[in-house]
Every structure is written in structure tokens, then in C-alpha cells.
Chain A
Amino acid sequence: MTVVLNQSFTGISIGAVLLLIALGLTLTFGQMGVINMAHGEFIMAGAYTTYVLQQAVSGAGVSLLVALPLAFLVAGAMGALLEWLLIRRLYTRPLDTLLVTWGVSLMLQQLARDVFGAPNVQTAAPDLLTGHITVGGVTFANNRLFILGLALLCVLALTLILRLTPLGRRIRAVVQNRDLAEVSGIATGRVDRTTFFIGSGLAGVAGVALTLVGPIGPTTGTNYIVDAFLVVVVGGIAQLKGSVITAFALGVLQSVLEYSTTVSVAKVVVLVAIVVFLQWRPQGLYTLRTRSLA
């Protein structure tokens, strides 16, 4: 029983990391249909922001707290810049966007290699997050709990923004019907850029979380990006709850499979499970109901 619970918690914490990464994608992919392969490098930017900050500020706790908003801003700014420079020119060609942003991601990775060096770097976790608590034989690592909390907090914040603020209303309007939003006087270009800023910023926050799990390096983001995209594909692009459910489901599935087989077999089985799932729901778990054919 404790084995099951331990594996479930491992799965949920894998899911929390996936969720943090996929959250930003849900926004950018969901709103604009843009596949931003450089999303992984925004994660990396967030992680390196934490690392640099830790060199400058002593005290892992303080630097972590400062890193969260700072990483959001750094990654968000990079995202907004990318949107302005390249992506807005390619809205009608989503598949080409994928390849273009992959090129950007290659360059950013190499840039990180040139600036920070190819080997991975380790950041120190605050003392509070290094221990673990045990409840009824089940071990909860503090850093994993923190990431879970952070992920849920981000989901909550994003939900509130989308539901309650004028900005959120504009974002939803553009998602549901871009043309109608535009003729209603919404500056869709500006909404796009803001959405991209928030989505990329969330990648930065995910990067901060990753520094707590292990060493970080130039390829940190790439390792997660495909899995994160799968979360969005399975969850459906229209609603956040699809991504939330999928992230945790895939996390638990992965961890259970890894426990009963091997890491490599688990990867293959998860992919097969996704293809089978898409037979049942080709548009993902939650879809936006429209009358369009596509």
C-alpha cells in the first residue's frame, strides 16, 4: 500500500512539473495555435536566472523568492520579443512556426552553452526544501511539495486572470473568435503579445522549479518540451482543466510504468496510450465547440 502511495506521489510530482511547463503552452498553443518549440529554452532561461541570482544574492531562500518573479519577467520578455520579431508574421502558417521556433531554440541553447558552459550547473536549494516529511509511511519530499504548491498556485492565478479580469475576457474572446473579437474593437495583436508574455513567463517559473529537482543545463528545456506538448495535445487546447487532469494522469501513468517496467519501456507505453486515447477523443479531453470543420 505504501508503495502504491509513494509511487502515486512521485507521479503527482512529475505531473506537477509537466503541468507548470504545459500551462504556458496551453496559453500560447491554445490561443494562437502557435507551436513554440523555444518554450523549452524559456524554461532554461528561468532556470539560469535562478542560478545567476544565486551567485549574486547569498541565501538560497531569498534568491529563490526573488527568482520566481524575475524569471517570469525574463522569460516573458524573451517570449514577447520572439512574438514581435517572428511569430506574428507566421500566424497563418502554424507548422512553419514550429520549425522557425525550433531554429530559435537551437540558437538559444548554443547561446547558453557559450555563456554558461556546456556542463550542467547545480543551484543550492533552501534548507527548508531539502528535507522530507513522512505521513503514515509515505514520504513527501519538501521540494516536490513546493513544486506541487507552485503549480496549483499558477493554475489558480491563471484561472482567476482568465475568468475575472478585463485582460482575461479579451484573451478568451480572441480564442473563441478572432475575427469577431477584432471587429468588436479588441486589439488582437496586443492581446496576442500579452498572452505570449504570460505564457512564456510561466515557462520561466517552471524553470525555477526545475532547479529544485536537479542540475540544470543548456538542454534542460528540450528534455521536457515534447512531453509538455503531449500534455496539451491530450488535454485539449481550449481549457486549462484539460491540461491539469492530463498532466497528473500522465505523471502517475509514467511513474507506475517506470516502477513496474523500465524508464525506456514506460516512454513507449505512454506514447501508445496517447495514440489510443486520441482514437477516442481526437481533439483532446476538452474541446472548444465550434461549428467550423477544421
Chain B
Amino acid sequence: MTTTTSPAGTTATEPPVTAPPFLERFRVPGAFLLGAVLLLGIAPLVLSDFRLNLLAKYLCYAVVAVGVSLAWGRGGLLVLGQGVFFGLGGYAMAMHLKLADAAVTGQTLPDFMQLYGTGDALPWWWKPFADPAFAALAATVLLPMAVATLLGFFVFRRRVKGAYFAILSQALAAAFAVWLVGQQATTGGTNGLTDIQGFFGYDLDDPVNQRMVYLIVAGVLLLLMAAARQLFVSRYGELLVAVRDSEERVRFLGYNPANVKLVAYVVAAGMAGLAGALFVPAVGIISPALIGIVPSIGFVIGAAVGGRASLLGAVLGAVAVAWTQSTLSDAYPAAWTYLQGLLFVVAVGFLPGGLASLVTVLRRKRRTTHDPVTGGAA
């Protein structure tokens, strides 16, 4: 199995692309530019406000998928607890926005706290979130990354890996959701933080501001994809794939696989946190139901369907799955659950490279029928 550094949307086993060298050089920037024009230019023009808002929500999931593609697709870390980081980012943002909303109407407490009554003092750990710089920058990205560092350091250091790691990360999502539900008075419990009015001074009911939120989400997604792509083709990216494929060999070469994995895990956590923070103004709610075990696995399925190791595949997969879910689940909730289950079975079980590998798989099939010798070697 050779690791190629060929352009975006590649899996490790893709056969050499036969485009002329000149075109080859511009394939990735070209695709990126096309994506930027589509997302930032054309989508806001042709889509209604409602659709655009939905797209913003899907793109938030796509941001999580970029991280999943890095940690799982390239690093082989099955991250089943991305909901925790998504939730940390989301709650950090929502807490700030709730406090800001309350300040506008001259209250000191967010509405739900007045309802459930914890006295009239704000809990101490809410206080830093009144500061916009802290909430927007530090808490939404650095807090998830800090939690991931702490967990990842201890887990990877002792070489807890594979299924053990997957189960631990899933248990983390379960525990976090249960904890949030239990703290009704300070986190809003099962309801979560809802009814968010403003976003750093902009009224979220105004369609123009909703468009702005969409553009921010789309811009962040494009930036993160570009950054992740650079990471994929960097020396670090090579090392990460090497750790995935043969951790022991990397260790014998003198690297510490624990650190390599930790970086992927922490970066993925930061991306999930940022996605959660953007999700709040785009959708207007964050709640335990959005971050527990089930949604956490949901973050993975999009990447699995599109192609876990392929950045573009993971992003398109996440958007497609989210779109299918919201289209189907209202009208036919049962049908959606069956389809979701089937997606897991078919995509992961029979097409592990996802839809991104479909072309390669078909091409190899055809070649096998025509010329068994080279087909077998490919």
C-alpha cells in the first residue's frame, strides 16, 4: 500500500492520475476556488433564506467532518465522542449569547435561570462567558482542545487504542450528556440553551444577519478545509497515516505515536468546538440531544459515507447525510432510521473508502475483468 501525496479527495490507494502535469498542478486550487464560488457566491443568490439557513446548519456538520476525516480517516482514531467537543463549543457560545441577550433587556440572569431559580447570583463559572473575546475565541475552540488534550494525553500515553479508545470516547459523550441533563438549574437541562436572539449585537431574526451567519460558516469551512489539506500533505500528515497503518514501525523509527495521535485528536476537537459555536447562531439552540451518543456517532457516518480519508468526500458526505436526514426525518421518521442503519452497514461494511472510492473501486473492477494481471496488482 503506497501513500501518495496526490491532490484532494484522494485515498491512500488511488491509482496515479493521468491528467497532464499542467492541469494536475491546478486541480486542487481550482476545485477549492470552485467550491468557494459555489458556497459564497452562488448559494446565497439562488437559495431562499430558509434553505440557506438549513445549509448553514449542514455546513456546521461538515466542519466537524473535516476533523473526523483527519482523526479517523488519516489517523485511524475512531472518534465517537465528537459531540462532547461540539457541545463544549456550542454551550460556550450559547452561554455568552444568553448573557448578552439578558444584558440587552437589563437582566443579570438568562431567562431559564430566572425560571428554574438558582437564586439571583450568576454561577461563578458562567461569569467569564460574559466577555465576548473569552467566549468567542478562547472557550469555543481552546476549551474543547484542552479537554481533548487532557483525555488524549492519558489515553494515548498508555497505548490505549483501537476499540478501547472508541469506547472511552463514546462513554465520554454519554457522561457529558447525562451531566448536562442533571444540571437543570445552570445548563438548562434537557431543554438546553434555546431562544437565542442576538449574535454579538446583530439581531438573529433579521434575514440579512442570518445570511451573514451563513457566510461566516461557509468561510470557516473553506478555511479549515484548506488548512486540513495542507496538514494532510505535510510531513505530519504522512506520519499520521503511517501511525494508522503500522504504529509499531513508527515507534521503531524513533517517533512517539502518542504525540502524533494527540495532535490529530486535539485539532479535530478544536474543529468540532468551532462547529458547535457556529451551530448556535445558525440554528438558535444547543441541547444534550444534539451531542450525546447517537449524534456523536452521527458525526462519523457522514464522513464514512463520503469517504473517511478523503477531505472532500467527508465534507460532501456530511452535508448529504444531514440533508437526507432533515428531508426524511420529518415526513418519515421510521424510514430515516432504517436508512441511517443501512448507511452504516453498506457504507462502512462494503465500501470502506466511501463514495469517494467508488470510482477507484469500479475502475479496478473493470480492469480486473479485462486484464487480470495488472488489475490484481492495482
Contacts and interface: CB of A to CB of B under 8 A. Distances in A.
A40 to B, nearest CB: 11
Contact of B337 (A90, A98, A106, A226): A106
B106 interface: no
B78 interface: yes
A95 B166 contact: yes
Interface stretch (A50-58, A156-164, A204-212, A258-266): A258-266
A104 B337 CA distance: 10
A106 B162 contact: no
Nearest to A98: B166
A114 B333 CA distance: 11
Contact of A275 (B154, B176, B334, B345): B154
Given A104-B341, A107-B342, A267 B179 contact: yes
Interface in A245-265: 262-265
Contacts of A135: none
A70 B263 CA distance: 50
Interface string B11-50: 0000000000000000000000000000000000000000
A282 interface: yes
Contact of A278 (B158, B175, B344): B158
B257 to A, nearest CB: 12
A269 B154 CA distance: 16
Nearest to A294: B248
Nearest to B179: A264
A35 B170 CA distance: 13
B334 A263 contact: no
B216 interface: no
Given A102-B344, A103-B341, A107-B341, A267 B175 contact: yes
Contacts of A176: none
A226 B174 contact: yes
Contacts of B166: 35, 95, 98
A98 B78 contact: yes
Contacts of A230: 167, 171
A263 B151 contact: no
B295 to A, nearest CB: 13
Contacts of B172: 271
Nearest to A284: B164
A35 B167 contact: yes
B349 interface: yes
A103 B182 contact: no
A239 interface: no
A35 B293 CA distance: 16
Contact of B178 (A98, A102, A105, A267): A267
B159 A282 contact: yes
A213 to B, nearest CB: 19
Contacts of B183: 264
A109 interface: yes
B293 to A, nearest CB: 7
Contacts of A278: 154-155, 158, 160, 164, 168
Interface string A224-242: 0010011001000000000
A103 B155 CA distance: 27
Given A106-B340, A109-B337, A262-B182, A89 B349 contact: yes
Nearest to B335: A110
Given A102-B297, A106-B338, A264-B179, 8 more contacts: A95-B162, A99-B78, A100-B345, A110-B337, A264-B180, A274-B171, A275-B155, A278-B160
Interface of A: 29, 33, 35, 86, 89-90, 93-96, 98-100, 102-107, 109-110, 113-114, 222, 226, 229-230, 233, 262-265, 267-268, 270-271, 274-276, 278-279, 282, 293-294
